[in-house]
A and B are shown apart, each in its own frame.
Chain A
Amino acid sequence: MNSLPTVLTTNAIDQNEVIRVDVSRNDSAAVKEPSVGAVAAMARPSVASASSINEEHAVKIRAKNVDFLYGNNQVLFDVSLDIPEKSVTALIGPSGCGKSTFLRMFNRMNDIIEGAHHTGEVLLEGTDIYAPQIDVVLLRKRVGMVFQKSTPFPKSIFDNIAYGPKVAGLRNRARLAEVVEESLKRAALWDEVKDRLNSSAMALSGGQQQRLCIARTLATNPDVILMDEPASALDPASTAHVEDLIFELKKNYTIVIVTHNMQQAARVSQQTAFFFEGVLVETGETHGLFTNPTQKQTEDYITGRFG
């Protein structure tokens, strides 16, 4: 994206007060050097692999000692993970291991669920997103999410994409049209729908709907895109489309993807984290993890002994 002072506005003690706190962000396209401060700020490398952080990328999201519980049922146990920026991090593991729950911590989607609580910290560029002054609405604008089952609103394609900017306050029709076009282009859907922006989004095919949801997320201009098994409900051709898209998007966005498909993780991600029963077992550079896992559990899962 363009260089601009990012504003993560935080609320003061009173929910309705707004105080601006400038947290500057590196310009994306040009600069690829590591942010020295970010690298130095890393306390210790994450479990097992020394090459777990790609040295070229700063840490975008850091989770520290996160325990998560639904009521009395603990789902995540002391998980610590760094997500590097502008790359794809895959969370893999058998079903029920907590990877989706962990993903949803990054945009605080678990807040909606009754009885959900956690300990530990989740930091976005150094700021704890669970601090009381943080505005959740703004956080979700910066950290977008694409769900497993595509959920287009029962509105037109244009209105679907324009929804995010509209609720944020963009009213100018011309600007909205620009945003819609750019988002659809970034999601590789523009050519297919440019003639029927006013037709219903429900009429699109499954793969198109999922790309529509990605475009919808892109329209809010996020830094981070979370994807919860984005292609599991799609046929192979659409899956390939979505994976190509992810490959393109990682140039400009930080992507965290949950997938139960190991081949997909190997194809698209630079870093992979393996979860098992709520514990982060191993994390590391993708190629290394898949060819030379250091933990036995990881090896068993990858070779198909369970899961």
Chain B
Amino acid sequence: MSDLEFEYAALLKQRHRISTCFEWVCRIATGSALLFLAVLLAGVIGQAWGWLDLQFLTGFDSRRPANAGLLAGLWGTFWLILFTTIFTVPVGVGAAIYLEEYASDNRLTRLIKLNLSNLAGVPSIVYGMLGVTVFVRMFGMIPAADGWTAAISLGFGTLEIPLPLGRCLLAGSFTLSLLILPVVIIASQEALRAVPSSIRHASYALGATEWQTIRHQVLPAAVPGISTGIILALSRAMGETAPLIMIGALTYLAFAPGNLNSPLEAVQDPQRVLDAPFDMFTSMPIQIFNWVGQPKAEFQNVAAAGSLVLLILLVVFNATAVVIRNRAQKRITW
């Protein structure tokens, strides 16, 4: 086999060359992904330069680019995320607790878990279709032409709930909640799973019930992981557009939900707070979508300004999540 040895030796240089070459290909691939990000951000910032000012943030949309503002979208996104949080957190965390702590490994549990991973992959627009039928039209059980209104009088105002819900903000929130629910559940499950069983066993050994163990030991330990998951899911919901369009969010809207333009007005006229969830609405991504589609060239700059605001908000959200996760990892060392 002597000639083989010579062969091997001759090929060695080429092999090392190939290895170095491959390493560079991989480096370049990673670098180009980072480059895309940099170019995208540079482009948005460049186009938004000079168009992102206080007037933009406090004004409503307009047919003229110079006057167009994001306020309706800001309020819409605020309300949407608020209600989505209210609905998603209890249901999502509750489901995760059930699946991780209570459920035995039977067919039903496995079905639920399989179902969750499938739901996480369903395109958002399908959720929009679900939302339209279930929340907006409520299965068509109450014809839209008639429509009732349930009025509940609270001390400071009247809560008027239209039935069917129609194309209102609350319907949008419900839909977004269903959309991010699988994500929240899966993330919370992982956070709960990370808590070592020794903690649970110690708690049981001291005579605590299942719920007491969860409430006092497991859940507090899992809170950082769960919050991180919720924040990331909400940041995804902030950027969602398609399901809201199907629900009936308006692309051009010149008022905020409930006519509530500033927190001060909430205090002065609380009725507007009660009106807001049932009002027509828009959101930041939808306003951006509208501006991108406008023929006038300057609307591109307005769209860029809106995108920049949205990106900044998302960065804040994600940074919060990362900070929470890092602080938690420092404190808790299993």
Q: Which residues of A contact B (CB under 8 A)?
A: 2, 4-7, 9, 15-18, 20, 135, 137-138, 141, 165, 167-170, 175, 221
Contact pick for B12, options A2, A6, A18, A170, CB 8 Å:
A18
Among B3-11, B93-101, B131-139, B238-246, the one that faces the other chain is B3-11
Report the minimal beta-carbon distance from B272 to chain A, rounded to whole angstroms.
61
- The complex places the Cα of A137 from the Cα of B2 at a distance, in Å, of 18
The B1-36 residues at the A interface (CB cut-off 8 A) are 1-2, 4-9, 11-13, 15-17
Question: Which residues in B have their C-beta under 8 angstroms from that of A17?
Answer: 13
Residues from chain B with a CB closer than 8 A to the CB of A135 are 12, 16
Residue of B at shortest CB range from A18?
B13
Closest 9 CB pairs of A and B: A169-B11, A4-B2, A168-B8, A9-B9, A18-B13, A7-B9, A169-B8, A16-B13, A169-B7
Contact B1 A137 (CB under 8 A): no
Q: A2-B1, A2-B2, A170-B4 are in contact. Are A138 and B9 (CB under 8 A)?
A: yes
Identify the closest chain A residue to B13 (Cβ): A18
Give the docked Cα–Cα distance between A171 and B209 (Å): 67
Task: Determine the distance from Cα of A18 to Cα of B14 in the docked complex, in whole angstroms.
Answer: 10
Nearest-neighbour CB distance to chain A for B318, whole angstroms, equals 30
Chain A: interface secondary structure?
loop
Within the assembled complex, what's the spacing in Å between the Cα atoms of A192 and B1?
Answer: 26
- Cβ 8 A contact of A16, one of B8, B11, B16: B16
Is B8 touching A141 in the complex (CB atoms < 8 A)?
A: yes
Q: Smallest distance from the beta carbon of A167 to chain B beta carbons, Å?
A: 8
Number of interface residues of B (CB under 8 A): 14
Q: Tell me whether A7 and B4 are in contact (CB under 8 A).
A: no
* Chain B residues within 8 Å of A18, by CB: 9, 12-13
Contacts of B1 in A (CB 8 A): 2, 4, 221
Cβ B16 vs Cβ A15 within 8 A = yes
A137 to B18, CA, bound (A): 13
Would you give 5 A-B contacts (Cβ < 8 Å), ordered by A? Answer: A2-B2, A4-B1, A4-B2, A16-B17, A137-B12
B7 touches A7 (CB 8 A): no
Interface centre among A135, A169, A221 (most CB of B within 10 A): A169
When distances are taken between beta carbons in the complex, the residues of chain B under 8 Å from A4 are 1-2, 5
Q: Knowing A2-B1, A221-B1 touch, does A137 contact B15 (C-beta < 8 A)?
A: yes
- Chain A residues near B11 (CB-CB < 8 A): 168-169
Cα A169 to Cα B5 with chains together (Å): 10
A170 touches B2 (CB 8 A): no
Of chain B, the residue at the smallest CB distance from A220 is B8
Name the residue of chain B whose CB is nearest to the CB of A168: B8
Q: With A2-B1, A221-B1 known to touch, is A7 a contact of B15 (CB < 8 Å)?
A: no
Which residues of chain B have C-beta atoms less than 8 A from A7's C-beta? Answer: 5-6, 9
B180 to chain A, nearest CB (A): 38
Residues in A whose Cβ lies below 8 Å from that of B8: 138, 141, 168-170
The interface residues of chain A lying within 8 Å CB-to-CB of B15 are: 137, 167, 169
Query: Chain A residues near B17 (CB, 8 Å)?
Result: 16
Would you give the shortest CB distance from A10 to chain B, in whole angstroms?
10
Q: Chain A residues near B9 (CB, 8 Å)? A: 7, 9, 18, 20, 138
Nearest CB of chain A from residue B112's CB, rounded to whole Å? 33
Which residues on the A side are within 8 Å of B12 (C-beta)?
Answer: 9, 18, 135, 137-138
- Nearest A residue to B6, CB-CB: A7
Contacts of B6 in A (CB 8 A): 7
Name B16's closest neighbour in chain A (CB-CB): A16
- Using Cβ atoms and an 8 Å threshold, which residues of chain A touch B16? 15-16, 135, 137
CB distance from A186 to the nearest CB of B (A): 13
Nearest residue (CB) in B for A9 is B9
- For A6, list chain B residues within 8 Å (CB): 5
**New A-B pairs, 11, CB < 8 Å, besides A167-B15, A170-B4, A221-B1:** A2-B2, A4-B5, A5-B2, A7-B6, A9-B9, A16-B13, A16-B16, A135-B12, A138-B12, A169-B7, A221-B5
Q: Which residues of B contact A165 (CB under 8 A)?
A: 4
> Please, how many angstroms separate the alpha-carbon atoms of A167 and B13 in the complex?
13
Closest residue of chain B to A165 (Cβ to Cβ) is: B4
* CA gap between A17 and B5 in the complex, in Å: 18
A221 to B5, CA, bound (A): 9
Q: Give min CB distance, B276 to chain A, whole Å.
A: 56
Which of B2, B9, B15, B17 has the largest number of chain A CB atoms within 10 A? B9
B2 / chain A contacts, CB cutoff of 8 Å: 2, 4-5
A18 to chain B, nearest CB (A): 5
